[in-house]
């Protein structure tokens, strides 16, 4: 039984649409990786890879958006999407929501928007972390029961980046706590 599942798993080929989705996920993970790595493993602050990834984060984000666009476009054609049917959005809620976030982030990824939007820009770009959870849900839901050999790799990649993010969030909270207490003591 296990052997049959194993064989079926490897014989599922990857369609061009899926390949674009997988490449989109890889470039997206690369946009998230440097900040979390530097907070969780401070020794890596001077390492070359996180620095290079940070420098090219904007380009990687736009690349990820373009790949995701190709992925969604091919699947919209293949599955004959009915945009006027609400159940379409129910079935693809995670994919569509992720795609909307990717679009917002890609169109505002330029110096002009950073200057004009000021604090709002940073707040808007926090949506990337919501996209991270939505994407994890999307891949698990859409690939349920018909994984190919790349599916576990994307799931492992997404799980790793989520764990790193949660660890970073927790560490940053620990640093902020005493700061808040100090502020309150000064005020009170
Ligand atoms: C409107 C937006 C989207 C739609 C309609 C959509 C649709 C789908 C569908 C139908 C599948 C299952 C394919 C199959 O059964 O073989 C799928 C899988 C997948 N999608 Fe999306 N998707 C969307 C957005 C995204 C975005 C934004 C990303 C990445 C950033 C993404 C990444 C993936 C990945 C990695 C898989 C699994 C591929 C595999 O393991 O072979 N999708 N998507």
Q: Tell me the residue range of the domain where 49 lies.
A: 2-187
pLDDT at 10: 61
Residue 95 in contact with ligand 1 by CB distance below 6 A: yes
pLDDT at 186: 75
What single-letter DSSP state applies at residue 14? P
Angle at 76 between CA 20 and CA 128, to 5 degrees: 55
The closest alpha carbon to 165, from 108, 126, 138, belongs to: 126
Global pTM? Answer: 0.89
The closest alpha carbon to 152, from 10, 52, 44, belongs to: 10
Number of domains into which the chain is organized: 1
In this structure, of 13-22, 63-72, 131-140, 170-179, the range with the lowest mean pLDDT score is 170-179
What single-letter DSSP state applies at residue 144? T
Angle at 47 between CA 150 and CA 37, to 5 degrees: 55
Q: What is the mean pLDDT of the chain?
A: 92
Q: Among residues of the chain, what percentage have pLDDT more than 90? A: 78
pLDDT tens readout for residues 72-129:
999 999 988 888 888 888 899 999 999 999 999 999 999 999 999 999 999 999 999 9
Ligand 1, pocket-test mutation among 67, 76, 142, 153, most atoms within 8 A of CB? 142
The closest alpha carbon to 129, from 47, 43, 29, belongs to: 29
pLDDT at 26: 98
* Mean pLDDT, residues 162-176 taken together: 95
Banded model confidence at residue 38, pLDDT cuts 50, 70, 90: very high
pLDDT at 96: 94
pLDDT tens readout for residues 16-30:
999 999 999 999 999
| Separation CA 14–CA 11 (nearest Å) | 9
| Separation CA 121–CA 129 (nearest Å) | 14
- Within 10 angstroms of residue 177's Cβ, the number of other Cβ atoms is 10
Of 4-8, 28-32, 143-147, give the range with the top mean pLDDT.
28-32
Banded model confidence at residue 11, pLDDT cuts 50, 70, 90: low
Question: Which atom of ligand 1 is found nearest the CA of 28?
Answer: 30
Angle at 48 between CA 47 and CA 49, to 5 degrees: 100
Q: Are the C-beta atoms of 158 and 136 separated by less than 8 Å?
A: yes
Ligand 1, pocket-test mutation among 71, 91, 144, most atoms within 8 A of CB? 71
């Amino acid at each position: 039984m296990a052997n049959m599942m194993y064989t079926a798993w490897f014989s599922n080929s990857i369609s061009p649409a899926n390949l674009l989705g997988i490449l989109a996920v890889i470039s997206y993970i690369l946009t998230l990786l440097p900040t979390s790595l530097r907070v969780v493993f401070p020794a890596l602050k001077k390492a070359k890879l996180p620095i290079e990834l940070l420098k090219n984060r904007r380009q990687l984000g736009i690349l990820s958006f373009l790949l995701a666009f190709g992925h969604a476009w091919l699947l919209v054609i293949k599955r004959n999407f009915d945009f006027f049917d609400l159940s379409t959005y129910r079935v693809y809620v995670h994919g569509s929501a992720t795609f909307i976030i990717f679009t917002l982030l890609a169109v505002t990824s330029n110096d002009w928007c950073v200057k004009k939007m000021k604090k709002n820009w940073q707040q808007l770009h926090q949506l990337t972390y919501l996209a991270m959870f939505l994407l994890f849900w999307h891949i698990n839901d859409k690939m349920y029961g018909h994984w190919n050999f790349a599916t576990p790799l994307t799931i492992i990649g997404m799980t790793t980046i989520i764990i790193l993010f949660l660890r970073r969030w927790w560490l940053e909270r620990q640093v902020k706590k005493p700061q808040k207490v100090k502020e309150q003591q000064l005020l009170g």
